[in-house]
Amino acid sequence: MNVKIIIKSNNLYCRLISGRQIDISKKLGITIAQQFWDIKNEKIKNAYNFENRDKINAKLFELKAKITNKFTFDNINGEVIDSQWLEGAINEAFNKKAIVRGKIERWKVYLLEFCQYWIDEDGAKVNDLPSYENFVKHLTNFLKSKNLAKIKIKEVSHSTINQFVNYMLLDNFSAQTTKRQATRFKFFMNKAENMNLEVNKNYKEP
């Protein structure tokens, strides 16, 4: 079992690995430029004049110790160790109050929220996280062009993706870039479908 503090796209994540069964990550809400992060020692570099650097480093060290202890206790008592468990462990270590969720979580309904949820939950596992974050920016701008603040996952169809493609091309993006962003659009829809969320399956049409 191993607890690591890693950085992806200037965001710190807590990553918990145990054997082949458990590999989960959660964003910590701490942002720092990557060049100032000591990857090997998992802390803010000593050479960086960062306000409260030592306190933050101490908190991160404490976080790893608390999660390790909690994992050991909860695991032998049969607790399910998943993303929700890790979020709770982080909140407990940082003395954060638990957030009470509604009966239907927004990320299960709205596409933008789902994309951000996936980035927060699984983004640390991918090598090119900024490209997925960049897609979210394009999607946000596309929705704004349609005077929409959000769109439901189940409302996305093949026509929606075509409209997104046309928007990109009209905004002077190259055909190659547009194709890449359309592929990421379908990537997120596929992830939603794999998580048993309600989707319009004709989004897959070529």
Give the mean model confidence (pLDDT) for residues 170-184.
95
Residue 102 is predicted with a pLDDT of 47
- Mean pLDDT, the chain, rounded, equals 89
Q: What percent of the chain has pLDDT over 70?
A: 95
Sign of CA dihedral 58, 38, 65, 4: positive
The pLDDT of residue 132 = 92
pLDDT at residue 192 is higher than 90: yes
pLDDT for the residue 105: 78
Nearest to 43 by CA among 25, 27, 30: 30
Over residues 10-27, mean pLDDT: 92
Instruction: Write the DSSP symbol of residue 26.
Output: E
Q: What is the mean pLDDT of residues 135-147?
A: 94
Helix (H) or strand (E) holding 24: strand 22-31
pTM to 2 decimal places: 0.58
Question: Coil, strand or helix: which one is 144?
Answer: helix
- pLDDT tens, 49-71? 777 888 899 999 999 999 999 99
How many residues are present in the chain?
Answer: 206
Q: What is the mean pLDDT of residues 102-115?
A: 81
Which helix or strand (DSSP H or E) is residue 4 part of?
Answer: strand 2-8
